[in-house]
Structure 1
Amino acid sequence: MSYASRKDDHVRLAVAQHQVSMAGPRTSPFDDVAFVHHAIRGTAEHAVSLATEVGGTTWPVPLYINAMTGGSHRTGEVNRGLAIAARETGLAIASGSMSAYLADSSVAATYRVLRGENPDGYVIANVNANATPEMAVRAVELLRADALQVHVNAIQEIVMPEGDRDFSAWPCNIARLAETLGIPVIVKEVGFGISADTVTQLAELGVRIVDVSGNGGTNFALIENARRRRADFGLLAGWGLSTPACLADGADAALRHGVTLLASGGVRTPLDAVRALALGARAVGVSGHFLSILETEGVDALIAAIDTWITQIRQLMVLLGAETVRALAATDVLLTGGLAEICRLRGIDPAGYARRSRDPMRSSVPVTRE
């Protein structure tokens, strides 16, 4: 099967998957995160700054359009719409995997449109963990990218009929990219999560930005299983850690190693975005939800939806008395249900999150492990 056909399949199946999830009960591990309501701690809306620092650059809002697609005529048009939305709202934007371009330069325009429609925006190129520095440079140069996202997707590859079956070179390759590129390198899962141990390992490889991309959003195990002739590998559909679990698990390691955490995976609403920021993310990525709006309602609807998200994130920060994104990581949150149980199993005290604001000298994330 060609790259173009595979990319079209991915978009079609991702949109269908998201629409099914929208039709039923929208529960997720984010529902295990609640804010302690302090009734008179609110601030003024004009005092709130949404600016956040990622890789030495200040983003105007702690929200970005995460990696999706490219490599075919249809996906090029998707990228055009996403780029226009990013331009009009000030969001950073990541390309989808550029493997198709690296294999066939004739599809370059389906990726280059991200920069063409968004000449002054923050654009992130995307390659897989097998990419050489030379391949990564080609991807970065095509988009005049401000950063490089390296996606790690072992689960997807295993289920993918034509996927890779050897991941042993990934650590070495990632270290080479981090050492040689000269721009921020972001390592990102594709929806199965990154643990504290992996954050530490990546830091030792020279990576300073990690997108945990937990489960709960677009599920590439299900997407690739649907592409199998017999759809016979669905047993990995529930694999991985949720985004809130990744943030709680990885906060201590990120703090110790100077790693910036980004959050994506299963982010449904502006409240979920604020929850992720409160758990230590510096910015929050959205893919499936924005893609579904673009594909079903068009680019103007997507711009309006993003504007609403930005407004509501700001207003939630007003309620919480958090005048900066970093201040959210000192708000009091209740970790309950399955998330609290995961924390306990990983040696993290969930109660520490519930009383962070009582000690202004305390680290912005709990570090207590049993």
Structure 2
Amino acid sequence: MIGQRKDDHVRLAAEQQRAHSGRNQFDEVSFVHHALAGIDRSDVSLATTFAGIAWQVPLYVNAMTGGSTKTGIINRDLAIAAAETGVPLASGSMSAYFKDPSCADTFSVLRTRNPDGFVLANVNANASTEQARRAVDLLRADALQIHVNTVQETVMPEGDRSFAAWVPRIQKIADAVDVPVIVKEVGFGLSRETVLMLRELGVQVADLGGRGGTDFARIENGRRELADYAYLHGFGQSTAACLLDAQGVGIPVLASGGVRNPLDVARALALGASGVGVSGGFLRTLLDGGVSALIAQITTWLDQLAALQTMLGARTPAELRRCDLTIHGDLRSFCTDRGIDTRPLAQRSRAVEAPHEPTGTTR
């Protein structure tokens, strides 16, 4: 049954990606163009460091799947693409492995086909500390994701209905494992209040996992006989909204959910993300074009991200946080309601270097 559910998730996620309208709230984040801000491409690095983690690129393949023969093949191909391009790679939820150890190879292939890469194991917030350690050991993982997904579980016909234990279990896992712990949402967003709570629990990194990409409420509703939870389609906060909400939370944040192109990657980094994850878009490419198409797409994205940094004058991904941004539309309304002043974002470059104008000249 679990294997069938995992196959259903892949099928429905791919269908949703192909039918996606294309717009989300990243479109309401704009860089202020400064025509003389550009630098030399040779001075640009894509390396990012956060919470003791060092990645050669700020782009990663986020959690997708595992637990069935078909999803094992997908994980194999994802691992091949990650090994070829150097991007970090996260496992899908490993709950299936805990219930049926015979499917272990559908997850461990992420490491066997990507022996030198950065690999993240993935468990749900109901996992025990023993299960968390088993997940890390199976993948020889460099970090552990704990995913939280109350909305998905609520709509899932066979989903969990008890969430009160999640907070103490997250804290126990964070205390028990020897690798950095990242708590991630699956597409409904982490609020500022939630990220601050995670910091107090000892979690090192938060993956905001916002609305805008694959909608698991829609996926699980598609598995219901009556499809009677349609009113939860689109629930939660967008990734861009979560990034703005999380300013100054005191722990690094990653951005995933609705990342469609290298410009979205740059926008997310400029809004404070230390790294940017993609799932649905890469899955669609893999299913439609195979592993060679995915390698080509990731390679192109990394090349174009470096080009955008060159154009914007950011030598590193972190320097994108100095670039001026304007926020508009519904995203600006969200910020107003949450008490977030977006005006300083449009003037950040002035704090880096004041303009030098010859005496007596005017603009």
Cα distance in 2 for partners of 1:99, 1:155 equals: 18
Structure 1 partner of 2:5 = 6
Indicate the SS of the match to 2:246: helix
Larger radius of gyration: 2
- CA displacement at 1:361 relative to structure 2: 9.0
Indicate the SS of the match to 1:251: coil
Match of 2:218 among 222, 229, 239: 222
- CA displacement at 1:145 relative to structure 2: 0.4
Structure 1 partner of 2:90 = 94
- CA displacement at 1:104 relative to structure 2: 0.5
1:139-163 CA-partner distances (Å, limit 9, x unpaired): 1110000000000000000000000
Match of 2:275 among 275, 283, 301: 283
Indicate the SS of the match to 1:298: helix
Indicate the SS of the match to 1:118: coil
**Alignment length, in residue pairs?**
354
Cα distance in 1 for partners of 2:200, 2:58 equals: 26
Structure 2 partner of 1:269 = 261
Cα distance in 2 for partners of 1:27, 1:106 equals: 41
Which amino acid in 1 is paired with 2:76?
Answer: R
Structure 2 partner of 1:199 = 195
1:313 aligns with 2:305: yes
Structure 2 partner of 1:336 = 328
1:144 aligns with 2:140: yes
Match of 1:153 among 145, 149, 161: 149
Cα distance in 1 for partners of 2:226, 2:289 equals: 33
- CA displacement at 1:215 relative to structure 2: 0.3
With the length of structure 1 as denominator, give the TM-score of the two structures: 0.95
Cα distance in 1 for partners of 2:273, 2:315 equals: 16
Indicate the SS of the match to 1:263: strand
1:255-299 CA-partner distances (Å, limit 9, x unpaired): xx2x11000000000000000000000000000000000001000
Q: Identify the range of structure 1 (339-348 vs 68-77) with the bigger mean alpha-carbon deviation.
A: 339-348
1:286-336 CA-partner distances (Å, limit 9, x unpaired): 000000000010000000000000000000000100001111011100111
Which amino acid in 2 is paired with 1:88?
Answer: E
Match of 1:33 among 11, 29, 34: 29
Structure 1 partner of 2:14 = 15
Cα distance in 1 for partners of 2:236, 2:253 equals: 18
Indicate the SS of the match to 2:247: helix
Report matched runs for 1:183-198 at 5 Å: 183-198=179-194
- CA displacement at 1:54 relative to structure 2: 3.3
- CA displacement at 1:180 relative to structure 2: 1.2
Cα distance in 2 for partners of 1:33, 1:148 equals: 30
Report matched runs for 1:17-96 at 5 Å: 17-21=16-20, 24=21, 26-96=22-92
Indicate the SS of the match to 1:113: helix
Report matched runs for 1:94-133 at 5 Å: 94-133=90-129
- CA displacement at 1:252 relative to structure 2: 2.1
Match of 2:350 among 340, 350, 358: 358
Cα distance in 1 for partners of 2:212, 2:353 equals: 34
1:154-182 CA-partner distances (Å, limit 9, x unpaired): 00000000000010001100001111101
Indicate the SS of the match to 2:322: coil
Match of 1:180 among 158, 166, 176: 176
Cα distance in 1 for partners of 2:26, 2:53 equals: 28
Aligned alpha-carbon RMSD (Å): 1.0
Indicate the SS of the match to 2:267: helix
Cα distance in 1 for partners of 2:171, 2:183 equals: 11
1:345 aligns with 2:318: no
With the length of structure 2 as denominator, give the TM-score of the two structures: 0.96
Unaligned runs of 5+ in 2: 355-363
Structure 2 partner of 1:368 = none
Cα distance in 2 for partners of 1:35, 1:238 equals: 26
Cα distance in 1 for partners of 2:289, 2:68 equals: 21
Structure 2 partner of 1:366 = none
Structure 2 partner of 1:248 = 244
Cα distance in 2 for partners of 1:355, 1:45 equals: 25
Q: Which runs of 4+ in 1 moved over 6 A?
A: none
**Percent identity for Structure 1 against Structure 2:** 57
Cα distance in 2 for partners of 1:233, 1:15 equals: 20
Cα distance in 1 for partners of 2:71, 2:16 equals: 17
Match of 1:213 among 199, 203, 209: 209
- CA displacement at 1:360 relative to structure 2: 2.4
1:172-211 CA-partner distances (Å, limit 9, x unpaired): 0000111110110000000000011111100011112000
Which amino acid in 1 is paired with 2:241?
Answer: A
